[in-house]
Homo-oligomer: A and B are copies of this chain.
Amino acid sequence: MAIEFDNNLPIYLQVMDYIKKQIIAGHLKPGDKIISVREMAAELQINPNTIQRTFQELERELIVETRRGLGRYVTSEETKIMEIKKDMASNLLDHFIQGMQELGFDNVDIVKIVAHAVNESNDEQE
């Protein structure tokens, strides 16, 4: 449950990312109640206000909804969740490929490198 924080990025953004991934991975399902701000703050060892900020932003992105006095819930719109997954994947991909190209790798290299890395990670799993 602990997040490894990157000091160069606002915490609330990193927690947003963390929660989005929890949703996409299915650990938080559409319509699920989300633990309270105070609880999550305690678990992640972060100030409640920072968690509050996190959810404020997630709510603005329609990923989460608040019910007065009851708590917060994951949006029940499955399409929204698929959309987030696509967006996040697409961002990762663009960032990676553009970065590799700027480092002078050509397309063939890039595919090879990924294939190789993936095989290694396979070996580890076995």
Contacts and interface: CB of A to CB of B under 8 A. Distances in A.
Interface of A: 7-11, 13, 21, 24-26, 47, 68-69, 85, 88-89, 92-93, 95-97, 99-105, 107, 110-111, 113-115, 117-119, 121-122
A69 B47 contact: yes
Contact of A96 (B96, B119, B122): B96
Contact of A114 (B8, B10, B25, B110): B110
Nearest to A13: B8
Given A92-B95, A92-B100, A96-B114, 5 more contacts: A8-B10, A9-B9, A89-B100, A89-B105, A107-B118
Nearest to A111: B115
